[in-house]
Structure 1
Amino acid sequence: LVQYQVEELDEFDLKVGEFEEIEQEHKRLANGTELVDSCQASLFLLTDGEESNIESLLNKAVSLAENLQSYDPALTNVSTMLNEALIQVQESAGELQHYLSKLELDPAHFAYLEERLSKAMQLARKHHVSPDKLAEHHLALRAELTTLDDDENKLEEIQLQVEASKAAYLANAQKLSQSRARYAKELDKLVTQSIHELNMPKGKFTIEVNFN
């Protein structure tokens, strides 16, 4: 069972942290149209509005503040803050323009992400884990399988050692039995000869050696 589970997850091959990345990218692409529209609307308000925009209004405010501070230095901080606000607006507009230039709404890639998300959630339900923990679960199962394989290999090695020891024992036992049989025959002859010398010509001494 563990091997089947590992093979199934190996085939899907979800990396640690990948689910969160896919989920975030899927969310971005799913809301791609709204992202584009909102970014463009923000740019229109910040810098692109022809009749009026925040940048042009701030430019006017900065110009007025600079004139005012020439009359009263107490307004210097106001002029500084307006200048900083103008810079922030311009930098924000630049960031939005850069973001829009990099934003790609690829339907094929979106379909791929949807399929991968769906498969990840399906496997997560099957393995009774949350989708964001599926990759870690995969690694844990793989480690468990490695341990099982190692144990199985050790068991096979022990079985081979037992068989080898048994074979060696039987071989040695057979040699010992053969040796005993040989010496038994010699002893038979000697004892039988001694019996004959005692005027018992029909006497015979026999030792039986059995090997089981």
Structure 2
Amino acid sequence: MKSALLEEILNQYRLKCEEINSVINSFRDKLQDETEYSIICELAYAILAAGSSAVSAQRGECAIAKIYEKLHNMDEQEISAVLKAAGCRFYNVRGRYIAEALHKLRTFSLRDEIKRRLKNKEALRDFLVENFKGIGYKEASHFLRNIGVFGLAILDKHILNSMVELGVIDKVPERINKRSVYLELEKKFIMLAERLGLTVEQLDLLLWSRKNGRIMK
């Protein structure tokens, strides 16, 4: 592992720590939302963020939030039209995924299901991957982090490229969404965070901002 680069990253954290921790703190209370408004919006965000930019996903999330009161009565085409107007990529596919998720959530409370499974975060993530289209291991980890469930790695291209740069891994694997591959990479990322004395969430936002110049969820 490259010691000089690790020290540089720690120096960057010292400069950005206040903003990073402020963003992390903003995630903490979302599971307490009795209306599930925050949870549904964050699930939509995670679906929209896959293969897209954070800025585009946030535009889509804001559009979903604005029509939340009637969202559960909207069909796939209506949701896709909202996403298209917001400038989201793949709005038809993402609209279908969100509509199907909402249909499934008529039968149970996602907030209650998450709380029930909190003792085993990996199993909780597996549940999300198995039950919601458009949600892989990265997206499930992203969703859970954004509602205050911490300790899982969001292994997007920026994080994986940083791991290569730091000498943590030799190259970015081709099949990142295979469970065994994801868990092995996640273990290495968690060990890196521990070596630096940071939480998984702090290191994620730090490395992401290092590649993009912004601290965003």
TM range (shorter): under 0.3
Q: If the length of structure 2 is used for normalisation, what is the TM-score? A: 0.20
Q: Greater helix percent: which structure?
A: 1
